[in-house]
A and B are shown apart, each in its own frame.
Chain A
Amino acid sequence: ETGVTQTPRHLVMGMTNKKSLKCEQHLGHNAMYWYKQSAKKPLELMFVYNFKEQTENNSVPSRFSPECPNSSHLFLHLHTLQPEDSALYLCASSQDEGSYEQYFGPGTRLTVT
């Protein structure tokens, strides 16, 4: 596979469930990102990892927990979510953190019921 992949593509979960989103990049990049995209709102940066180290946590609630075991893989663990967390969750990668273009995965459409 090439580029940035995300699984699952769609997820429906209850407020008491625990689930995880997975992202994998095949570009040899060092930086990976999680974004949230809600309807008619700008992309919201959630987390940034550079060389597996978290460099940004944009005041994200603790019910979202990221994990980056290596530069190619990024997870977002979800628990006790709220209906307002329903959104498109996008993973992206770039050569390094900073002034580089980012490449996005297809996203996971999350619905919290």
Chain B
Amino acid sequence: QKEVEQNSGPLSVPEGAIASLNCTYSDRGSQSFFWYRQYSGKSPELIMFIYSNGDKEDGRFTAQLNKASQYVSLLIRDSQPSDSATYLCAVNRGFKTIFGAGTRLFVKA
């Protein structure tokens, strides 16, 4: 079992729709959870982090964490073509951050 699992996609949504990206992790002791966006040919860029169960909203982005079920998700409202990228889920365990392989999102204009 991979430590951090994401559906590789591509996830295709029409412009203006909600994109839902999911991530599961194996270590129950994980404490911090991050979402990074990576455009093709570019480096990852942090867009959200969450530490506590529940929802955290920042503009069009909402991160959701459920530690009991060991999943974290990212919702993107009013998706735009500029949101087309690979989204990396990262989970911190102690002093180590483990990255998922990423989900490729494509927003159709």
B102–A42 touching, CB < 8 Å: yes
**Is residue B99 contacting chain A, with contact meaning CB distance below 8 A?**
yes
Q: With A99-B32, A99-B51, A99-B92 as given contacts, are A42 and B99 in contact (CB-CB < 8 Å)? A: yes
**Which residue of A55, A98, A106 contacts B92 across the interface (Cβ within 8 Å)?**
A98
Q: Is the interface of B mostly helix, strand, loop or mixed?
A: strand
User: Which among B90, B94, B95, B102 has the greatest number of chain A C-beta atoms within 10 A?
Assistant: B95
State which residues 61-109 of B face A: CB under 8 Å: 88, 90, 92, 94-102
B98 proximity list for chain A (CB < 8 A) = 42, 45
State the Cβ distance, B29 to closest chain A Cβ, in Å: 12
Q: How many residues of A contact B (CB 8 A)?
A: 20
A43–B34 touching, CB < 8 Å: no
A90–B46 touching, CB < 8 Å: no
Q: With A and B bound together, what is the CA distance between A2 and B92 in angstroms?
A: 26
**Which residue of B43, B95, B101 contacts A104 across the interface (Cβ within 8 Å)?**
B43
Give the A-binding residues of B (Cβ under 8 A).
4, 8, 31-32, 34, 36, 42-46, 49, 51, 88, 90, 92, 94-102
Give the B-binding residues of A (Cβ under 8 A).
40-43, 45, 48, 55-56, 90, 97-107
